[in-house]
Chain A
Amino acid sequence: MGVSGDSAVLYDNLQRTGGVDKQFLAAPVKSAVDKFQLLPEFLKVRGLVKQHLESFNYFIRTDIKKIVQANNHVASRFDPSVYIRYTDVWVGRPSEVVDGVTDSLSPQKCRLGDNTYAAPIFVNIEYCNGSDSRMMMKKEVVIGRMPIMLRSLSCVLHGKDEDELAKLGECPLDPGGYFVVKGNEKVILIQEQLSKNRIIIDSDKKGCIQASVMSSTAITKSKTIIRMEKEKIYLVLNAFTSKVPIMLVLKAMGMETDQEVVQMLGRDPQYATLLLPSIEECASIGVYTQQEALDFLEKKRKKSMSRFGKDDGALGVLRDIFIPNIPVRENNFYLKCVYVVVMMRRMMDAILNEDAMDDKDYVGNKRLELSGQLLALLFEDLFKSLNDMIKLTVDKSLSKASRTSRLDISQHILKDDIITKGLERSLSTGNWDVHRFRMHRRGITQIVTRLSFIGAFGSMTKISPQFEKSRKVSGPRALQPSQWGMLCPCDTPEGEACGLVKNLALMTHVTTDEEEGPIISLCYCLGVEDLYLLSGEELHSPDSFLVILNGLILGKHRTPQLFALGMRKLRRAGKVGDFVSIYVHEKQRCVYIASDGGRVCRPLVIADNGVSRIKHHHMKELKDGVRNFDSFLREGLLEYLDVNEENNALIALYEGEATYETTHIEIEPFTILGACAGLIPYPHHNQSPRNTYQCAMGKQAMGNIAHNQLCRMDTLIYLLVYPQRPLLTTRTIELIGYDKLGAGQNATVAVMSYSGYDIEDAIVMNKSSLDRGFGRCIVMKKMSAMYQKYDHVCDKIVSPRKSQHDSEILDNDGLASPGEIIRHLDIYLQKECPLDPKAKSHPSQIQYRTSKQTYKGAEGEPAVVDRVALCSDKNQNLIVKFMIRHTRRPEVGDKFSSRHGQKGVCGTIIQQEDFPFSERGICPDLIMNPHGFPSRMTVGKMIELLGSKAGVSCGKFHYGSAFGEPSGHAHKVEDISETLVKHGFCYNGKDFLYSGITGTPLQAYIFMGPIYYQKLKHMVLDKMHARGMGPRQLITRQPTEGRSRNGGLRVGEMERDCLIAYGTSNLIYERLMISSDPFEVQVCRECGLLGYINYKTKTRMCSTCKNGDNISAMKLPYACKLLFQELQSMNIVPRLQLADS
């Protein structure tokens, strides 16, 4: 198909050039290479969940060593010869220590046993216990246990094939990338942040233009703002009490002459004009020398900022807190001065020209923080705490005058598992509290949604936003053009988080940190002039570009394009990391090189003068298995581009569209969508919000969860009895394995109106289809119970008495046995608890009481005990888990949806004989109202119907990948129609149907064919609720609230208003009083307060008047009586005045 498209382009070109372009004619005929095969190869090494693994691996391999290296020396404050030095650190294999025996762990074991899947962190240490002892060494000391990401390098699942995974009880299609903490699967969400160490030009609330830098180094994090306020430029820094004139700061850093500043800013008089007021201000303050400036700053300095031990005054602040990402060598502030001036220049550019403002929502200005970085942060904090703790305890014992035993510093490491507990706590609560960096973030982790297979994918690719969701801003929510190919344009939730929570696209990769050193020296080799050797005047000379690496100005280069080309060639040759981006910014006259972590990038095919480097033979080699994705990278056929570098590239969507200027060609256009949106067939024919709705609903669809779904003990599992793979698939479906773990069924749908029970998107279902298993699902709920151990006694397992009617399903151990049918209020566990848990008497004398747990399910809906599992928690209590299985067939009110955001409930269920049937005897499974189409504009659904129909008639799965028609990954409607006609159907998919009720033909042709339908988790059985009499709240005596408490349905304010307006006073009285909380009170007519009845003497009394003369009885809502009493308790006297008593 691609070939024909291409020849059309060729023909077009021929027409345009008039057919005389000899060079064009001589050129070999271009035929598009089908690059699809690259995708599965890519997904083997990168993409989707692999960034989590990559990031975690980087942390385990490199970052953890760096952190320990940076804090490797722990010495006592009193005696420096008492110290520990960490020489090496590594993470072992996942294991646990039970009763002193080390046992290897597997993730499934942890899930079932409520354990944490963690591996010990080993260190090698050198230590010395004082000046009189020699240095000693210890190897393989465990300092804590690190939760291990599934499928990472340290995981037991790494590199295992399908069989081995099955032996470990693991689903081979499960992507990994999450942790198992206390039996829960937790994923660390990708965190979106503004990029660190970069100058961002924007305006503040007042509209002042400012340049800000979020500096982040291994030691400090700080925010530096240079702001233009009333034409003067100030520095805003946390370490200073108020804003500081920028000229003053420059003077303090050694640039005493104003001329130097102006020179450095550039020759253009515009800049000098803008700077003039600031210079004047500085002069008016009377600061001329460095010392004067420092003295001035010293006064402005916050005095509490001496966290770093050494306090060097204002100079120290400028060195350590003011843009700390710029190094200061031996108090040489030149680099910082240059940086400040570059900031000012960028800011002035923005003042002179609005376009120079930075866009905060631009993806290139963002970094994605992944689990590795977040864990590193946490680990660093905990490791430092551990060291502090060691120091503290050693100091404490050293300070004691008389020590009984010899001090052994190495013993203190093991004392407390700060690291283990800290990591586990943060992962299970999702609270990241890193005091050192003043970081308090909530909701970093999330439980992996296991409602459906695709839901698990969804949580793994989810990006949580930097802003809080309540902000009513549209900018960050809007679709950014720079998201193309990096973030899925469809997959975002509806409602408050709309547009803020994003998802990764299929081929996105998130970078990890890369060593800067080699890149710097390479830059100098390629002709970057060192900044130290440049004068201020030369800096912005018109013939040169600044070269900036990760926000650090390296110097300048006279031929930036050549330099960029050189760097890129080196990268393609593999001399520089694959993910280093080189970006020439013409407007800012800068070359930005980035090697930092968290940038999003994606692979693209390199094209030379518009000719793709990937040829047919490459793809053939890939198919034959001689090549893999990495070899494409190694040979420079592909490269990763990040968002910034994409701006320097001209990317053609298809090979045929490439022109001479084209530098890159997309691999496959459907990769701009993510995993969830990839399920939708023909999404490019749908109205865009429909795709967004489907992305949300796909995660609620029931189906297969994983291959190990029947071995899992999740709290709630929804399964479909007969899941199918969609007849109309997409390439993404095959790539992620949705065809193996489907979540829906191919239903034959007739688009027609029927019976009137199909309005408002309701669907009419065929009873026989339901009888035969359509939409049948299994709901499994976990229930657990514990055999508690007390100090001296524990709960007892006892055999129940069989005579009891409600304990029929119990085994001899008092537990319900698997396979038994369990009904509402049946006992599923019976045990004996000691009456007095603290008793210390002889075991035979302890008295027990029977305790039982009953199943609370829907009445009249028998369920089955599916599995019973016994395990022990960390206190060695016996935990019993029951999986209760309930098989349900669809009923009226259950929610269904197609893959096009078209949800609807089942409106009615009709007998098959009443359903229409076609000339071939086909009877639809469900009927959908055609009114669902015009306003929704889901043309993709119609094409899906056609494609599926053609698919079933010719026996081949049809494809509907996004934008797939030109490249042959989606069948064209014309071709589908042709297939339909060949098999005797009408080209438009409309069939001649007979009414099942009258037997005569219907007066219209009916659009009928299979559509993949998902059953969503919302079922009436879980929601329906009604009550007559029932429980009441204790204090107000009003009916309880909520379905779970069997609560009443509230007649609220608005309902009450209606009743008032309607004038049904008795109904109001009945609803609000009689059916709620009527209460008879005794009111004293004299004082208006409440009295009481003395039931012994049968007299009524007023306790205020001390008599019972003027008491009347009346009815009040109990809540009202309560209010009176509460008011009285607050010294407010509510008095009742009775009108006629």
Chain B
Amino acid sequence: MPKVPLWDLPELPQNHLPPHLQLQKTRVSCNNDAPTNTESIIYSGAYAAMGVDNSLRLGEFRKNFKVNVMKLNEEDMEFDLIGIDASIANAFRRILISELPTMAIEKVLVANSSSVVQDEVLAHRLGLIPIKVDPRLFEYMSENDVPNEKNTIVFKLHFKCERKSGERRTVYSHDLEWLPFGSEYVLRTENSSDSTSKPKTYTSFNSSQETLPEFSNNPISVTPGIIISKLGPGQEIELEAHAVKGVGKTHAKWSPVATAWYRMLSEVVLLQDIEDEDAQKLVNKCPVNVFDIEDMGKGVKRATVARPRDCTLCRECIREPGWEEKVALRRVKDHFIFTIESTGALPPEVLFTEAVKILEDKCERVITELS
């Protein structure tokens, strides 16, 4: 940059940063060697010297903040979160992964298991099966609680491979059978003399879960098609699995998402006009077809950025020396493409709103603690 005397500098308009600083503030530039300007500048007085106020204003935020849902089905969801800081977006991501509760099998009572899969491993596998039930209908079970219809879901698995068949059989997750009345296994007690009362089982359900309006015509099930074990002729598995509510922080099996993540919107800028051969080269370079060729007439072809959103940042376009001056790969710092892959317990959009609620709660807690 040429040296310019201070008094010759152009008068800065209020609340406008010079372009290079604006770029640094709003964009991550992904250079060939390393990304730069990755951090978000939050300090309100960061540009005070230039008379620019960097503080966040609620009104401004409200005006700018946008959510665009790009894709939504039962399991996946992709939406844009625009006008938000990385820390907030990350907070949602973290909450989604580790703090949203779900139901997962925690306790397995094995009555009989002659399969090759060891009991612990079997229990571990069962634990990881997502249960399709709204966890909000249940309570956490603390240490002193007895398992009841409010905090426990009981499944039964009884699977036998007949010796006669001579073939192996596969046990799938959909072979798990929901027991709305709770455990069927009778607790062994010393004084089993009073046969009049109902025998005590491993759970103490007061009523059937089926009577609850939520489950009356919507029985609890698990994600089908997951292989639990394979049985040889003559082998048998008989067990009961008790699912309780928990969060992903304790164990990944309670995480409601397969994963949740975001990426910043990519911005590909052609710093120079790239024409003819170079344009074709550029188009060929990109494995995800970010660029297109535009016919400018007179036989001149110019490269344009057609689908910047598709850029995976393979940096193939700027790999060759010299190209870094022609193409700039950037990320927009306040535009997040958020993806949620649900495990099936809750639909992804509900997951996100739940995550927002949890963040709200946390904020409220902080405020109450502070005041």
Contacts and interface: CB of A to CB of B under 8 A. Distances in A.
B38 A1001 contact: yes
A986 B30 contact: no
B336 to A, nearest CB: 9
B113 interface: yes
Contacts, number: 114
Contacts of A921: 259-261, 339, 341
A593 B288 CA distance: 66
B241 interface: no
B249 A1003 contact: no
B314 A981 contact: yes
A984 interface: yes
Nearest to B331: A1001
Nearest to B255: A768
B36 interface: yes
Contacts of B319: 987
Contacts of B89: 999
B359 interface: no
A714 B20 CA distance: 70
B315 interface: yes
Interface string A888-922: 00000000000000000000000111000101110
| Interface-centre pick from B110, B128, B259, B339 (highest chain A CB count, 10 A) | B259
B156 interface: no
Interface stretch (A611-619, A770-778, A1107-1115): A770-778
A1001 B264 contact: yes
Given A913-B97, A923-B259, A992 B30 contact: yes
B36 A981 contact: no
Contact of B118 (A864, A984, A992): A864
Interface in A972-1004: 980-987, 991-992, 994, 996-1004
Interface stretch (B119-127, B157-165, B172-180, B274-282): B119-127
Interface in B209-255: 248-249, 251-253, 255
Main secondary structure of the interface of B (DSSP, over half): mixed
Contact of B120 (A864, A920, A992, A998): A864
B51 interface: no
Given A767-B252, A921-B259, A984-B312, A887 B118 contact: yes
Given A710-B116, A864-B120, A986 B316 contact: yes
Nearest to B123: A887
A772 B120 contact: no
Interface in B297-312: 312
Contacts of B98: 911-913
B339 A771 contact: no
B25 interface: no
A1099 B128 CA distance: 74
A277 interface: no
B118 A983 contact: no
B296 to A, nearest CB: 29
Contacts of B38: 1000-1003
A1021 interface: no
B237 to A, nearest CB: 12
B299 to A, nearest CB: 30
B89 to A, nearest CB: 6
Interface string A169-205: 0000000000000000000000000000000000000
A699 interface: no
Interface string B62-102: 00000000000000000000000011011101100110000
B252 A912 contact: yes
A721 interface: yes
Contacts of B91: 999
| Interface-centre pick from B110, B116, B314 (highest chain A CB count, 10 A) | B314
A767 B255 CA distance: 12
A998 B252 CA distance: 21
Contact of A1001 (B35, B128, B249, B251): B35
Contacts of B315: 986
Contacts of B251: 771
B43 to A, nearest CB: 15
Contact of A984 (B87, B262, B314): B314
B95 to A, nearest CB: 8
Contacts of A866: 118
Given A771-B253, A913-B98, A996-B94, A985 B312 contact: yes
Contacts of A1004: 34-35
A981 to B, nearest CB: 5
Contacts of A982: 287
B167 interface: no
B118 A919 contact: no
A996 B90 contact: yes
B40 interface: yes
A819 interface: yes
Contact of B35 (A864, A912, A1002): A1002
Contact of A919 (B40, B121, B255, B312): B312
A673 B330 CA distance: 48
A1005 interface: yes
Given A981-B287, A998-B90, A885 B118 contact: yes
B236 to A, nearest CB: 13
Nearest to A983: B287
A913 B113 CA distance: 36
A991 B288 CA distance: 16
B263 interface: yes
Given A773-B124, A864-B118, A887-B118, A919 B316 contact: no
B271 interface: no
B66 to A, nearest CB: 19
B35 A998 contact: no
Contact of B40 (A885, A911, A983, A1000): A1000
Contacts of B253: 771
Contacts of A778: 118, 121
| Interface-centre pick from A983, A986, A1001 (highest chain B CB count, 10 A) | A1001
28 contacts: A771-B252, A771-B253, A772-B252, A776-B121, A776-B124, A778-B118, A912-B252, A919-B312, A921-B259, A921-B339, A923-B259, A923-B261, A984-B287, A984-B288, A986-B313, A987-B316, A997-B90, A998-B39, A998-B90, A999-B89, A999-B91, A1000-B40, A1001-B264, A1002-B38, A1003-B34, A1003-B38, A1005-B34, A1005-B35
Interface of A: 710, 721, 767-768, 771-773, 776, 778, 819, 864, 866, 885, 887, 911-913, 917, 919-921, 923, 980-987, 991-992, 994, 996-1005
Given A864-B118, A912-B97, A994-B90, 19 more contacts: A721-B124, A772-B128, A772-B252, A773-B128, A778-B118, A885-B120, A887-B121, A913-B93, A913-B94, A920-B312, A921-B261, A981-B314, A983-B287, A984-B288, A986-B315, A987-B319, A998-B87, A1002-B35, A1003-B34
Interface of B: 28, 30, 34-36, 38-40, 86-87, 89-91, 93-94, 97-98, 110, 113, 116, 118-121, 124, 128, 248-249, 251-253, 255, 259-264, 287-288, 312-316, 319, 331, 339, 341
